[in-house]
């Protein structure tokens, strides 16, 4: 008997495994219980809370019985990509990424009622509404950030959705946030990146001159320019948005150098904006040869960038090379600052972008009263259409705003995106 | 805070305190109280008088011998001395080198019956066998510790009853009004059932009721789960529980007679195989596993009843174990069961059988090599199963990262974990959860459902109840009369432990999700019946003084028996 019963230890072994497993669960519960519970357990919580914009406009609110959005239909629709919804239809939006922070949880009592949790946003709902109506049904994106504080004042993606209307028939692609969740062919706005690399890598760049006959032939392949710019300096080449000059600059930088700048500026990686993931971009990393590198250096080839990545770039340039990470939420925390590019490079780019506006974009006429630095982009899609881009910033201590305006298949950068930017910025400096 | 809300919170706290006291009382009574062996006879050697404390004893030089005879010429395992139900003692020579003589007559492996006063000679050493008579046994029994003197079983059961009343009260607040009569009636019947069972034990003079109390505690949680998720089926649940308790009593009564039990092994084994065969041929597929049979609107799972049969077949008396050393017929039986379950597609249950097989074969053979061999073999079979059945491979693939795929392969586990965490330590109140509406919440994710509605503490008590039963089975095994009871009790508990682990850890993503039931608590009549029947094996091993109805008391004297026969 003893011989047999001594072997009953095998049952104790199983019992010990059960105990170890239970301890493992309890530890994991302590660690992750909140995340677990609040992912699905809304039904047993009667929490109440709201999302309000920077001036107190309620964009979304909820209680145990009711989910509400902004009263005004236009405000609701224009701000939809900021708020998201209670049903996670977009997969992005603050209601999704901040849901857990709007609910109560404690390890002792599990989910608890969180009363009147208010999430204050940096966003200006009125600015969003203005930008959305300026987009006027076209597909596109508008981003405006205060580059000194990181406050994201505007994030609009068109077309959008009315979350309060159950019968709303959204246009195709309305659930995609074009600011964060998609990448597009950048066209000439990419020349800012090539220019930044050139400033740091090509000695005496300002003493060089670039000659343009309207096209150039590289290894038997023509690179066509938008015009015939003849002899021009580096600065003039950027304001002319000269393809010939920038293709040559890209080739003299080399593919590896240019790619390393694209990577260093974060264009290739996804980022996170208050818990909302953003789209990665693309730049050819496999060897492509000089002609294709020429195209890649002017934002064509297989280049793709996410508007949000471009916003980070222009906002760092505006802020003398220091990037203040944008935030939708005003949580009272210090913004994250980091060195993004050299101060000298940033200041050089500021000057060149201001030269663009003053000398080429009819600044006084198109952008009255704005101390604007900018770059246009008209990204050829190969089917006769083109994306219109306009990005830059105001060198204005009272209104230190950086922006990206993008109209999908919108046409010319300056005429389409530029005038949209003017509408948004004029509203912004008067109302924020 | 309103009156109702305060009452709800108070009732939750009371329920937790009651659960904890029930656990502590059972734990103390079952694991902390003195548990002296029964003394059946004596062996007087020249130097000492050795008490014989089991019905089956190994005589030998080995440290693990029950009667240790450290004498020259005595083999490590020399002889088996065993007592039948009727009180007849037999000694068997277990292939010893020195041989065994009784009153000068050499005996073999067929054994020889002993009378009190007989002289046994092992390898040249004489010793005298002395049986106990009735009065001596009564005196010995009187000296043993009674169960329930210090920790009253009726008080523990009363606490359980109060727990049930509070639970019912919580359900009364959350249930739909038209379901209320069903819920109240079934809880009332459950309370009547447990007290009838308790009083029946008192009438036949049995005072150990902890195993039943723990089983009723778990059954109560099962009622709560049913009342939340499928209140319309509660009448079925109470009928099944009554049937389960009756079968538990029947099985316990059956186990009192070791001879009868041992003889029935083969018919029971064959019946089990027939059930599985019927299952393999006729069953309908339900979500990959075809483990259901339908009879006029009632479905049942043959594999659950086969679990009980498996314990019957797997356990063995000591003399048989030593006379026929091989495990081949048992291995063959186990292999058929596991393969049949694999064919049905019930891999969770196949795994339960397999681990139980390991425990039984280790207890029977003591060979770790065999266990390793079996594990290696099963490992290979498992790899094949995973490669053949895509849905199993999928479960393995999602194991450990269910949160990355919470709308597809991780659907159930993530819901279970979320609901479980949302309950905190005290729960959201019986019937007030949301997990109950998710498919299989009341079976595969029942731990999470209890966490959500009754809180983590009660859910842990639910696991603790099974652990206490397991520790008690091991403790009782040491004092068991026959190795049959010891092995049966341990095998039952390993079965329940594995089942519990797969259920709980599967739903919490600590193990792959296999979809087996939590003992007693998960919905499912066959499972409930099987669990209750297995409790009889624990009762069979419980030899504390006047504790268990499954252990026959006050044996008649061998002499009387013989006179009767004459």
Listed range (A93-102, A114-123, B118-127, B489-498) with the worst mean pLDDT: A93-102
> A248-285 in b/e burial notation, b at 16+ Cβ within 10 A?
bbbbebebebbbebbeebbbbebbebbbbebbbbbbbe
The pLDDT assigned to B558 comes to: 46
Distance CA B354, CA B314 (A): 12
Listed range (A415-419, B478-482, B487-491) with the worst mean pLDDT: B478-482
Give the count of Cβ contacts less than 8 A between chain A and B: 159
The pLDDT assigned to B393 comes to: 74
**Do residues B176 and B184 make contact, with C-beta atoms less than 8 angstroms apart?**
no
Helix and strand totals (H; E) in chain A? 15, 19
Taking 80 as the threshold, does the pLDDT of residue A114 lie above it? no
The pLDDT assigned to B560 comes to: 47
The pLDDT assigned to B515 comes to: 82
Each residue of B44-86: pLDDT tens digit? Answer: 988 889 999 999 999 999 888 999 998 899 999 899 998 988 8
CB contacts under 8 A, A 2-41 vs B, are: 2-12, 14-15, 17-19, 21-22, 24-26, 28-29, 32-34, 36-41
Q: Cβ A14–B510 below 8 Å, yes or no?
A: no
Q: Which residues of A touch B467 (CB under 8 A)?
A: 15, 18-19
The pLDDT assigned to A42 comes to: 58
Task: Identify the band that residue A55 occupies on the pLDDT scale cut at 50, 70 and 90.
Answer: very high
Q: Domains of chain B (ranges plus CATH)?
A: 41-143 (2.60.200.20), 153-541 (no CATH)
Q: Tell me which chain B residue has its CA closest to the CA of residue A18.
A: B501
Distance from CA of B353 to the nearest CA of A (A): 14
3-state class (DSSP) for residue B274: helix
Q: Cβ B414–A39 below 8 Å, yes or no?
A: yes
The pLDDT assigned to B330 comes to: 85
Residue in A4, A29, A105 nearest the CB of B363? A4
Question: How many residues does the structure list for chain A?
Answer: 432
Give which of B30, B404, B421, B538 to mutate to test A binding, by max A Cβ within 10 Å. Answer: B421
In this predicted model, which residue has the larger pLDDT, A166 or B115?
Answer: B115
Give which of A9, A25, A108 to mutate to test B binding, by max B Cβ within 10 Å. Answer: A25
Listed range (A90-94, A120-124, B75-79, B494-498) with the worst mean pLDDT: A90-94
Residue in B318, B466, B500 nearest the CB of A1? B318
Q: Tell me which chain B residue has its CA closest to the CA of residue A29.
A: B421
Contacts of B71 (CB under 8 A, 6+ apart): B45, B61, B122, B123, B125
Kindly give the pairing relationship between strand A221-224 and strand A215-218. antiparallel
B38's enclosing H/E stretch is none
Q: Domains of chain A (ranges plus CATH)?
A: 44-121 (no CATH), 145-154+178-431 (3.40.710.10)
Nearest to A79 by CA among A55, A103, A100: A55
β strands within B256-362, DSSP E: 284-286, 289-295, 298-300
Taking 90 as the threshold, does the pLDDT of residue B450 lie above it? yes
Listed range (A244-248, B245-249, B371-375, B527-531) with the worst mean pLDDT: B371-375
A55 interfacial to chain B (CB closer than 8 Å)? no
The pLDDT assigned to B557 comes to: 45
Q: What percent of chain B has pLDDT over 70?
A: 93
Q: Tell me the average pLDDT across A319-348.
A: 94
Taking 50 as the threshold, does the pLDDT of residue B457 lie above it? yes
**Do residues B492 and B529 make contact, with C-beta atoms less than 8 angstroms apart?**
no
Radius of gyration of chain A (CA): 26
Task: Identify the band that residue B222 occupies on the pLDDT scale cut at 50, 70 and 90.
Answer: very high
Q: What percent of chain B has pLDDT over 90?
A: 50
Kindly give the pairing relationship between strand A49-52 and strand A58-62. antiparallel
Q: Tell me the average pLDDT across B204-231.
A: 95
Kindly give the pairing relationship between strand B125-131 and strand B105-107. unpaired
Listed range (B2-16, B387-401, B502-516) with the worst mean pLDDT: B387-401
CA B78 to chain CA centroid, nearest Å = 32
Q: Cβ B414–A40 below 8 Å, yes or no?
A: yes
The pLDDT assigned to A190 comes to: 96
Distance CA B445, CA B513 (A): 10
Q: Tell me the average pLDDT across B534-547.
A: 92
The pLDDT assigned to B320 comes to: 79
Q: Tell me the average pLDDT across B356-376.
A: 83
Listed range (A152-161, B376-385, B473-482, B506-515) with the worst mean pLDDT: B376-385
Each residue of A63-100: pLDDT tens digit? Answer: 767 788 999 999 999 999 999 888 778 778 888 888 77
A369 interfacial to chain B (CB closer than 8 Å)? no
Q: Tell me the average pLDDT across A317-340.
A: 94
Q: Which residues of B touch A17 (CB under 8 A)?
A: 501
Would the pTM count as exceeding 0.80?
no
**8-state DSSP, A329:** B
Q: Which residues of A touch B57 (CB under 8 A)?
A: 1
**8-state DSSP, B146:** B
User: Which position has the token pair 């029930």?
Assistant: B22
Q: Cβ A3–B62 below 8 Å, yes or no?
A: yes
**Do residues A210 and A242 make contact, with C-beta atoms less than 8 angstroms apart?**
yes
Listed range (A102-116, A364-378, B453-467, B475-489) with the worst mean pLDDT: A102-116
Mean pLDDT taken over chain B: 88
Distance from CA of B198 to the nearest CA of A (A): 28
Give one DSSP letter per residue of B76-135, joined into a string. SS-EEEEE-TTS-EEEEE-S-SS-EEETTEEE-TT-EEE-TT-EEEETTEEEEEEE--HH
Taking 60 as the threshold, does the pLDDT of residue B288 lie above it? no
3-state class (DSSP) for residue A273: strand
What is the separation, in whole angstroms, between the first and last Cα of chain B?
79
Q: Cβ A111–B362 below 8 Å, yes or no?
A: no
Taking 90 as the threshold, does the pLDDT of residue B36 lie above it? no
Task: Identify the band that residue A43 occupies on the pLDDT scale cut at 50, 70 and 90.
Answer: very low
Q: Which residues of B touch A15 (CB under 8 A)?
A: 467, 470-471, 497
Q: By CB neighbour count within 10 A (0-12 exposed, 13-18 middle, 19+ buried), where does B184 fall?
A: middle
β strands within A81-201, DSSP E: 104-106, 110-112, 117-120, 140-146, 152-158
Give which of B1, B31, B77, B422 to mutate to test A binding, by max A Cβ within 10 Å. Answer: B422
Q: Within 13 Å, how many C-alpha atoms sit on residue B482's CB side?
A: 27
Q: Cβ B56–A1 below 8 Å, yes or no?
A: yes
In this predicted model, which residue has the larger pLDDT, B84 or B238?
Answer: B238
């Amino acid at each position: 008997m003893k011989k047999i019963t001594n072997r009953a230890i095998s049952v104790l072994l199983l019992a010990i495994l059960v105990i170890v497993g239970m301890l493992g669960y309890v530890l994991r519960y302590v660690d992750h219980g909140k995340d677990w519970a609040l992912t699905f357990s809304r039904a047993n919580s009667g929490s109440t809370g709201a999302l309000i914009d920077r001036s107190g406009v309620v964009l979304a609110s909820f209680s145990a019985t009711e989910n509400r959005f902004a009263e005004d239909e236009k405000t609701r629709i224009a701000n939809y990509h900021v708020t998201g919804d209670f049903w996670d239809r977009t997969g992005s939006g603050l209601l999704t990424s901040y849901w857990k922070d709007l609910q109560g949880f404690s390890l002792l009592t599990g989910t608890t009622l969180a009363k009147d949790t208010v999430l204050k946003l940096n966003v200006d709902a009125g600015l969003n509404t203005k930008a959305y109506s300026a987009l006027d049904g076209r597909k596109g994106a508008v981003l405006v950030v205060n580059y000194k504080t990181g406050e994201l004042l505007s994030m609009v993606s068109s077309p959008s959705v009315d979350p309060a209307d159950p019968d709303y028939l959204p246009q195709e692609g309305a659930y995609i946030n074009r600011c964060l969740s998609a990448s597009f062919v950048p066209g000439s706005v990419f020349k800012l990146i090539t220019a930044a690399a050139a400033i740091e890598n090509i000695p005496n760049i300002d003493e060089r001159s670039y000659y343009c006959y309207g096209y150039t032939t590289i290894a038997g392949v023509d690179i066509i320019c938008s015009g015939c710019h003849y002899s021009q300096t580096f600065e003039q080449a950027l304001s002319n948005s000269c393809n010939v000059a920038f293709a040559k600059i890209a080739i003299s930088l080399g593919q590896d150098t240019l790619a390393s700048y694209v990577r260093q500026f974060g264009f290739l990686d996804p980022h996170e904006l208050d818990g909302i993931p953003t789209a990665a971009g693309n730049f050819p990393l496999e060897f492509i040869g000089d002609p294709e590198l020429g195209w890649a250096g002017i934002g064509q080839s297989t280049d793709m960038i996410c508007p949000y990545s471009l916003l980070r770039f222009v906002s760092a340039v505006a802020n003398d090379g220091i990037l203040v990470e944008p935030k939708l939420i005003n949580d009272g925390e210090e913004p994250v600052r980091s060195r993004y590019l050299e101060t000298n490079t940033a200041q050089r780019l500021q000057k060149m972008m201001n030269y663009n506006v003053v000398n080429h974009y009819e600044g006084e006429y198109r952008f009255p009263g704005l101390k604007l630095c900018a770059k246009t982009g008209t990204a050829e899609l190969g089917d006769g259409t083109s994306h219109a881009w306009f990005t830059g910033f105001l060198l204005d201590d009272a209104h230190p705003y950086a922006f990206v305006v993008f109209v999908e298949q919108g046409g010319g950068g300056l005429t389409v995106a530029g005038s949209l930017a003017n509408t948004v910025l004029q509203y912004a400096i008067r109302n924020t | 805070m309103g009156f109702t809300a305060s009452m709800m919170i108070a009732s939750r706290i009371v329920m937790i305190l009651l659960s904890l006291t029930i656990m502590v009382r059972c734990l103390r009574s079952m694991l902390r109280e003195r548990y002296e062996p029964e003394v059946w006879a004596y062996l007087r050697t020249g130097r000492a008088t050795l008490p014989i404390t089991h019905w089956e004893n190994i005589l030998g030089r080995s440290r693990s011998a029950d009667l240790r005879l450290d004498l020259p010429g005595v083999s490590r395992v020399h002889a088996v001395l065993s007592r039948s139900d009727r009180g007849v003692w037999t000694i068997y020579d277990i292939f010893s080198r020195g041989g065994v003589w009784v009153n000068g007559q050499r005996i073999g492996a067929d054994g020889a019956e002993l009378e009190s006063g007989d002289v046994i000679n092992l390898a040249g050493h004489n010793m005298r066998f002395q049986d106990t008579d009735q009065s001596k046994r009564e005196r010995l029994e009187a000296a043993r510790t009674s169960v329930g003197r210090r920790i009253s079983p009726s008080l523990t059961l009363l606490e359980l009853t109060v727990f049930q009343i509070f639970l019912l009260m919580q359900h009364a607040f959350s249930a739909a009004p038209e379901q209320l009569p069903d819920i109240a009636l079934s809880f009332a019947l459950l309370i009547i059932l447990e007290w009838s069972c308790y009083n029946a034990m008192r009438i036949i003079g049995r005072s150990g009721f902890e195993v039943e109390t723990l089983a009723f505690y778990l059954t109560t949680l099962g009622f709560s789960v049913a009342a939340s998720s499928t209140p319309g089926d509660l009448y079925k649940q109470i009928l099944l529980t009554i049937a389960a308790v009756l079968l538990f009593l029947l099985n316990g009564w059956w186990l009192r007679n070791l001879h009868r039990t041992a003889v029935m092994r083969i018919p029971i084994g064959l019946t089990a195989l027939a059930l599985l065969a019927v299952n393999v041929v006729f069953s309908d597929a339900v979500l990959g596993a075809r483990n259901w049979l339908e009879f006029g609107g009632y479905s049942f799972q043959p594999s659950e009843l086969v679990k009980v049969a498996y314990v019957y077949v797997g356990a063995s008396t000591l003399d048989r174990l030593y006379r026929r050393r091989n495990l081949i017929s048992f291995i063959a039986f186990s292999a058929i069961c596991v393969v049949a379950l694999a064919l049905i597609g019930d891999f969770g249950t196949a795994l339960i059988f397999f681990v139980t097989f390991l425990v039984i074969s280790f207890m029977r053979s003591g060979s770790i090599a065999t266990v390793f061999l079996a594990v290696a073999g099963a490992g290979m079979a498992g790899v094949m199963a995973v490669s053949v059945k895509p849905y199993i491979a999928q479960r393995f693939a999602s194991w450990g990262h269910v949160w990355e795929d919470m709308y597809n392969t991780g659907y159930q586990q993530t819901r279970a974990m979320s609901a479980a965490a949302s309950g905190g330590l005290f729960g959201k109140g019986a019937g007030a959860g949301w997990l109950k509406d998710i498919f299989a919440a009341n079976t595969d994710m029942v731990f999470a459902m209890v966490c959500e509605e009754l809180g983590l503490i009660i859910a842990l008590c639910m696991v603790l109840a099974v652990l206490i039963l397991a520790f008690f089975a091991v403790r009782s095994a040491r004092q068991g009369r026959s190795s049959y009871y010891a092995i049966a009790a341990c095998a039952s508990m390993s079965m329940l432990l594995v089942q519990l682990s797969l259920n709980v850890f599967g739903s919490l993503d600590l193990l792959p999700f296999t979809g087996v039931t939590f003992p007693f608590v998960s919905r499912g009549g066959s499972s409930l019946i099987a669990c209750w029947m297995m409790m009889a094996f624990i009762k069979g091993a419980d030899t504390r003084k006047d504790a268990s109805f499954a252990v026959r008391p006050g044996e008649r004297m061998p002499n009387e028996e013989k006179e009767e026969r004459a």
